[in-house]
Amino acid sequence: MPFVPIRDIHVQYDIHNPHAESGTIVFVHGIGLNMSIWEPMLPYFSQSFRLVTFDLRGHGLTEAGTSGLSWGLFVDDMQELFHALELQSFHLVGYSAGASLALKYSLSYKHQILSLAFLAIPAYCPRKPLTAFIQTRKAQAQIHSMRHLGMDMAKSMTGASEDSPSFQSIVSAYGRMNADFYFRFLELYVEDSPFSDYDYISHPALCIIGDQDPLSLTSYTLASRLLRKTRLLIAPHSANAVFLDQPRLACEWIEDFIGKPVLHQRRAYPFNEEENEQVMNYFDEVYQEGMKKLESNRVIRIQVLGFFRVSVNGESIMAGWNQRYAKSLLLYLALHRSATREQICDALFPDIPLNSALKNLRVYLNHLKKQLEPDGTETAALRMDKEHIALNGIVRCDASKLNEDLDQALVEANPDRQLRQCKELTANLPGTLMSGFYVEWFNEYRLRMENKLVELLKQSAATERRNGNPHGSALLLKKALSYHPEDEQINSLLGS
């Protein structure tokens, strides 16, 4: 592949159909990837288009250089590359962070851009969850490797199997990434958020997302600033990377849009243009006010299915949980939306007289409050009156979420859909659920959950047998047996 020297780096690029005359399409990949990620989609484009791919600074075979990272640096790199390649005007296609860069480029070099196509462009991501995401991924990369991180990211980017070329291209790209560079790039979303750029879209713009990408579906629904200036299409049977899961369809939609670009959305029935604008502004105000309220709330995340972890507003709280019943008390409140003091005492201190247990509970609650209220916290971590106690804030507990998902899967009437739900729910579950907790109430909670899980696995195994997949059925039964090793029915089915 050829390279172009740009300031402190050499940029790798490739040109397909170099003599095509219908126009030029330039592709910008996302963070952690490289230009090879576009290969599944490129063959579907008409031979009349010139197709340009390249590796961003610090990705693929393009050097990272020594300049301080900024959105502007990447935009300048792109401008110098396009100038060296003598690209006068072109259509710009970007994926994820590459889409954010495509938009930023269009704002600086408006005269060059004919149209924009955003594939899974981040519509909005609140600062706190994004910061927590970065910290979690940093820990993952430090403990394992960037390649291991790529495996994890690929599972959410594409619905392709792990042995597919598309999946492996993501893993390979991440494996080549320098971890420090990757996270410095990712942190630009926190330090210099690009989301306000949507207000200034001035070119025909197409957004494509997958129907199996719940985060994009939700955020696009809320982000009226983006939707009012773009055409949104939702690809069926596709996760985040639509161009990998539906390459032909993505290509057809992009080519169709290039042929008939639209700058603004038509007004929505039954409103006229002015009324339509008022409604969209109202949606945006509701969204902005809602985000302000959400940002001010305490978000308590509790992981207990495997290792025990707690974070408040993205900040991990490591110490203090083995003191004064803090862990047991937090879990009880997380798994019971509201409880009376007597209920808590009966569950946590069944052998202690009630009056003594209530006195002790006051001390334990005070310790728990300190655990959940970092310095500078304005709102109380616990809601308490004379009788009831509850966690105050948005509580996310993996055990309660699994319990809810199991309930939904067990009442699913479609066996094949239930089978898919079962595989999704059990894919990453530990062999022993919620180990390390021996309080009687918690053991009872765990047993009820395991019973639901085993029943779902049995039903799904039966579906696999009916579908003519005895191997898949056996795998599910073995997983069920790991939770209920004495279950005679499971042992009989495996022995038959």
Q: Which tens digits make up the pLDDT trace of 190-225?
A: 888 888 888 889 899 999 999 988 777 666 665 655
**Average pLDDT, rounded, for the chain:** 89
CA gap 481, 458 in Å, rounded:
10
Phi, psi at 99, each rounded to 5° = -70, -40
pLDDT for 39-63, tens place per residue? 999 999 989 899 999 999 999 999 9
Q: Is the pLDDT of residue 262 over 80?
A: no
Phi, psi at 132, each rounded to 5° = -65, -40
pLDDT, position 129: 77
Place of tokens 């008939």: 260
121: part of which helix (H) or strand (E)?
A: none
What residues contact 277, with CB distance under 8 A and at least 6 apart?
none
What residues contact 399, with CB distance under 8 A and at least 6 apart?
302, 304, 305, 331, 334, 335, 434, 445, 449
CA 363 from centroid of its chain's CA atoms: 39
Over residues 218-245, the mean pLDDT reads 80
Sign of CA dihedral 347, 350, 353, 359: negative
Over residues 150-172, the mean pLDDT reads 92
- Give me the residue spans of the domains in the chain: 3-265, 299-397, 412-495
pLDDT for 64-109, tens place per residue? 999 899 999 999 999 999 999 999 999 999 999 999 999 999 999 9
Q: Pick one of 3.30.70, 1.20.120, 3.40.190, 1.25.40 as the CATH number of 412-495.
A: 1.25.40
In contact, 268 and 282? CB cutoff 8 Å = no
Q: Is the pLDDT of residue 380 over 90?
A: no
Would strands 9-16 and 3-6 be described as parallel, antiparallel, or unpaired?
A: antiparallel
Domain 299-397 has CATH 1.10.10.60: no
SS3 485: coil
What residues contact 364, with CB distance under 8 A and at least 6 apart?
324, 325, 326, 329
* Percent of all residues in the chain with a pLDDT value above 70, rounded to a whole number: 90
CA gap 359, 339 in Å, rounded:
17
CATH of region 3-265: 3.40.50.1820
For residue 390, what pLDDT band results from cuts at 50, 70 and 90? very high
CA gap 472, 466 in Å, rounded:
11
* Percent of all residues in the chain with a pLDDT value above 90, rounded to a whole number: 63
pLDDT for 10-24, tens place per residue? 999 999 999 988 899
Q: Is the pLDDT of residue 264 over 60?
A: no
Range ranked top by mean pLDDT from 262-276, 422-436, 450-464: 450-464
CA gap 464, 474 in Å, rounded:
9
In contact, 301 and 295? CB cutoff 8 Å = no
The predicted model scores a pTM of 0.64
CA 139 from centroid of its chain's CA atoms: 17
What residues contact 300, with CB distance under 8 A and at least 6 apart?
310, 311, 312, 334, 372, 381, 391, 393, 394, 395, 396
Q: Is the pLDDT of residue 294 over 70?
A: no
In contact, 429 and 406? CB cutoff 8 Å = no
pLDDT for 21-34, tens place per residue? 889 999 999 999 99
CA gap 140, 155 in Å, rounded:
15
